[in-house]
Structure 1
């Protein structure tokens, strides 16, 4: 059995066709979903997992790479429908996911609002209201960088901050696979920093990419872009060099 499956979910957002790629991990005991899309994505997730002979009801765990609306939007709905699913997130992101603190993305949107040109403010207001509407959900298990999770052949948590303060990626050593979340994305066949203009700490994000070079990675799965095709180490080195030169 392949230890992971890519769930390519196509949808329309802001008038554009988009694709996100949550990941399904499986072994004899666990069925684990990594990230869960925008709000109201439960039907799309159900259809995606059904293609692999799985139902959402069979999920045992849900790992969240970070607090962003396209990664946690359906978290509360899933937890409400299937309360036995264990939610796992990085300790730094957990207060925002649970609604105990304001998310950094919302803080960013609010702090830059006054500097926007007047014609951009209506759209920014709509975006802020959308971020405010993201429903919080309780996290069952917090993790930190370097932690080992003994599920689905073993999962190492890699702390990859920058995009958000508590962003994490998952390393599957058995298949030498990195589930990158938004630590990197694929654009025109290349690995890139995700939305560098909105990355909360760009130097830290680049340092996180550099940290990934310490791992023996043969495959990278990006939430935006899917499976990377090419020499992973060379692509990561090129990305770091592009920002350091």
Structure 2
């Protein structure tokens, strides 16, 4: 079953990255806010679904990378929406980043990209820790899945058995893979985060970087990736 057709989830697609809209009654909630052209793509997607008559009540951020938070301040200001976000990525919301190792490449890309793309710093209304509950969409649980960034989070819906997994993995062309190491602050933590995600009772997963396959297919791909990671020989 394609769960995006249930009528409560809308995937806003863009080249290279997607974000999500959840409908809860007469109010909408975003999972991240997109990258270049995000507000325009959001407007078009809402109009096609005929959701443009509903207000955006809140924005839930998975992590502080620029391709996920570029438009947060603009959209929140337009709709008067609240913002919740992982506590450990707080400096990124202020327009700063200090990534270690290979992720310094991502750090420099963000430092160049923020002024060029017009990033506006923001202050979340609530900083989230692992296990925190957000009272929307029959309840969402913040799930700390570190490795991509220090604070990287997913959002789990127990009522629907779905996980919005942020950048835990990418899912294209019949295969899941980990994000490139230049975007991961602690890549050694990601296999444990994959296991933590799969420990939930799941019917499907919604990644941010993925093809148009339904969420149950992304879940199958992640399980296969977990098996590959478990069988990977140790490196001294």
The within-5 A match list for 1:54-203 is: 54-55=51-52, 58-82=55-79, 84-99=80-95, 102-104=96-98, 111=104, 128-131=111-114, 133=116, 134-203=119-188
**Taking structure 1 as reference, are residues 194 and 150 closer, same or farther at Cα in structure 2, changes over 3 Å only?**
same
Secondary structure of 1:93's aligned partner: helix
- Give the corresponding residue for 2:11: 7
**Taking structure 1 as reference, are residues 184 and 239 closer, same or farther at Cα in structure 2, changes over 3 Å only?**
farther
Q: Does the CA-based 8 Å contact 1:110-1:128 persist in structure 2? A: no
Q: For 1:244 and 1:150, how far apart are their aligned partners in 2? A: 42
**Taking structure 1 as reference, are residues 65 and 111 closer, same or farther at Cα in structure 2, changes over 3 Å only?**
closer
Q: Does the CA-based 8 Å contact 1:186-1:192 persist in structure 2? A: yes
Residues 198-243 of structure 1 deviation map (CA, whole Å, 9 limit, x = unaligned): 3111111121111112211120111010544163673353243255
Q: For 1:244 and 1:48, how far apart are their aligned partners in 2? A: 44
Q: Does the CA-based 8 Å contact 2:58-2:76 persist in structure 1? A: no
Q: How many residue pairs end up in the alignment?
A: 224
Question: Aligned-pair distance for 1:172?
Answer: 0.9
CA RMSD of aligned residues (A): 2.8
Question: Aligned-pair distance for 1:196?
Answer: 3.0
Residues 78-115 of structure 1 deviation map (CA, whole Å, 9 limit, x = unaligned): 12322x2001101111232134xx2245x7689569xx
The two structures have a TM-score, normalised by structure 1, of: 0.79
Secondary structure of 1:22's aligned partner: strand
Question: Aligned-pair distance for 1:77?
Answer: 1.5
- Give the corresponding residue for 2:230: 241
- Give the corresponding residue for 2:208: 223
- Give the corresponding residue for 1:119: none
Residues 148-168 of structure 1 deviation map (CA, whole Å, 9 limit, x = unaligned): 222111101110011011000
Q: For 2:29 and 2:38, how far apart are their aligned partners in 1? A: 17
The two structures have a TM-score, normalised by structure 2, of: 0.82
Q: For 2:108 and 2:135, how far apart are their aligned partners in 1? A: 43
Q: For 1:201 and 1:45, how far apart are their aligned partners in 2? A: 31
Unaligned runs of 5+ in 2: none
Unaligned runs of 5+ in 1: 11-17, 114-123
Q: Does the CA-based 8 Å contact 2:155-2:164 persist in structure 1? A: yes
